[in-house]
Structure 1
Amino acid sequence: MPNAQEPDWDPMTYEDDHAFVYEYGADVLDLLDPAPDERVLDIGCGTGALTAEIADTGADVVGIDSSQDMIERAREAHPAIEFRHADARTATFDDSFDAVFSNAALHWIDEQDAALSTVADALRPGGRFVAELGGDGNVAAIVDAALAELAERGYDADNPWYFPTVGEYASRLERHGFEVRYATLFDRPTELDGEDGLRNWLDVFGDGLFAPLSNDEREAVVRAVEDRLRADYYEDGVWTADYRRLRFRAVRE
């Protein structure tokens, strides 16, 4: 995972409680459509589940992530694949790639232009960039509830993630020398695991929202967020997060 206010990732918790993050990425792999002997870069590879699926097609894949713990777990789980601890904003490579792939990682990066420069530099001319990230309005109910509770306690906080519109991101890609061939923004309501699903989601992903809080304050805010959202987002013992995703395929000109 890349940077924003990056959580202290626990790879095992991530795999056990939030497997949906990479399971939904299978659709993005279909858009990537890797071919045998292609060279592919996976940005924000996490514990390497999707990187391994790319490798299974016969492609030569390299996974990078800014979390050392995630990289170590990826190397343990997939020892035949090359994984590097690297920041998407500054990473460099000796050889170019035919494709760059990213799932659920770009919205963590606060310096998008630096990351897109990395992608453009890594790709050969005509190479493709296929990715999915949180789009405009992603988890808006959760974020709005958390910000409201923080404001009531005197904290001035902002959404810590980057969730762009299609037009905004397409223009950004074009400025970095990409031709956007496909882009879509869509709702993807996502069930969270069990009656503690929202709490667990906030525990893993909410550090950027809750950074200034003490443990007791954080617990109080989480309970209050659950209370705010329960009527609309909790049913039959299951929480549903209001995910919206931006998916695209672009070609380096």
Structure 2
Amino acid sequence: MNTYRWNAKDYERNSQAQQKWARELIANLDLRGGEAVLDLGCGDGKVTAEIARLVAGGSVVGIDNSRQMIALAKETYPHSRHPNLSFQVMDASDLSFAECFDVVFSNAVLHWVKNHQPVIEGLYKSLRTGGKILLRMGGKGDAEGIISAIDDVKASREWARYFTGFEFPYTFPGVEEYRALLKESGFSINRVELIPKDMMHDGKSGLEGWIRTTWLPYTGRIPEEKRATFIEEVCSGYLEKVPLAADGQAHVAMVMIEVEAEKIT
């Protein structure tokens, strides 16, 4: 899994949509209050802390491969005030747990990973018998409008030189390929489905904030002094095709894949 230099504070300010969707997903966990939970790709920790409040008699470990994110999470949610919550720097493809958890939760993370096989195998190993995973990530067809807008801009004369040798950085899997992966790793599958989602941002500035803080494989290739111009061009191009709604909101059509499976032996 690639490691990008996240601006953790900026991400925290521009990740309301991700947090809203994570809360929807947490409700599906049906937590009873005593579980040991792994939050895979915990980011700034705010969602992890919400899970920790729901398992007061259990524990939650948040992991992320970004040192900046983990540092912010530890600062915001110190162990002294949140004794059932801890954070570690760890890569999703190289998990070091063995039969530690009852539940693994992951929201909007695993589309960053090219090869999911070591991730799923690591999750299976991390779970106790009877444990379950609930994963949500970008799925087949995700964010096509934004990707098209970015492709248009990065192909232009001004920007093409910064994308020599560029490879598409995300994995947006389909249902059948993910079902096969889960079966191969030993999981009993409860549900794998693609779900269309409408992501909303507060006008053009909110859309720019999302691009700036999460589309790092693209923006990170642009010299810092030119980055804001690149982002503005991407957002202007997108909004020409998908104008702001009457209430000023920017809408982005997303497609998530949701995965529920259990370790039954």
- Residue 220 of structure 1, CA deviation: 4.5
Kindly indicate whether the alpha-carbon contact (under 8 Å) linking 2:212 and 2:219 is maintained by their aligned counterparts in 1.
no
Cα distance between partner residues in 1 of 2:236 and 2:12: 27
Residue in 2 that maps onto 1:166: 175
Task: Provide the residue aligned with 1:147 in structure 2.
Answer: 151
Contact 1:63 1:82 in 2 (8 A): yes
Give the deviation of 1:152 after TM superposition.
3.1
Match of 1:240 in 2: 251
Cα distance change, pair 13–228 in 1 and its aligned pair in 2 (3 A): same
Instruction: Please say if residues 98 and 127 of structure 2, whose CA atoms lie closer than 8 Å, have aligned partners that are also in contact.
Output: no
Using the size of structure 2 for normalisation, the TM-score is 0.86
**C-alpha distance in 2, partners of 1:213/1:38?**
44
Q: Secondary structure at the match of 2:169?
A: coil
The farther-off stretch of 166-175 and 90-99 is 90-99
Measure the CA separation in 2 of the matches of 1:131 and 1:232: 31
Partner secondary structure for residue 63 of structure 2: strand
What is the match of residue 263 of structure 2? 252
The equivalent residue for 1:36 is 33
Query: Which one of 125, 128, 153 corresponds to residue 129 of structure 2?
Result: 125
Offset at residue 105 of structure 1 (A): 0.9
Letter in 1 for 2:102: D
Determine which of 42, 46, 51 is the counterpart of 2:43.
46
Which blocks of at least 5 consecutive residues in structure 2 are unaligned?
Answer: none
Query: Shift in Å at residue 219 of structure 1?
Result: 4.3
One of 212, 215, 240 as aligned partner of 2:221: 212
Give the whole-Å Cα distance in 1 for the aligned partners of 2:144 and 2:9: 27
Question: Offset at 1:131?
Answer: 1.1
Number of corresponding residues: 250
What is the TM-score of this pair, normalised by structure 1?
A: 0.90
1:176-221, Cα deviation, whole Å (9 max, x unpaired): 1112101221111111133212222221122212443334654444
Shift of the 49–93 alpha-carbon distance from structure 1 to 2, 3 Å rule, reads: same
1:211 and 1:77 map into 2 onto residues whose CA distance is 26
Shift of the 200–173 alpha-carbon distance from structure 1 to 2, 3 Å rule, reads same
- Choose from 14, 18, 22 the match for 2:11: 14
Counterpart code for 1:241: V
RMSD: 2.0
Partner SS, residue 71 of structure 1: helix
Q: Which residue of 2 aligns with 1:203?
A: 212
Deviation at 1:111, TM superposition (A): 2.8
Q: Does the Cα contact within 8 Å between 1:187 and 1:244 map onto a contact in 2?
A: yes
Secondary structure at the counterpart of residue 51 of structure 2: helix
Answer whether contact 1:9 1:69 (CA < 8 A) is retained.
Answer: yes
Task: In structure 2, give the amino acid aligned to 1:9.
Answer: W
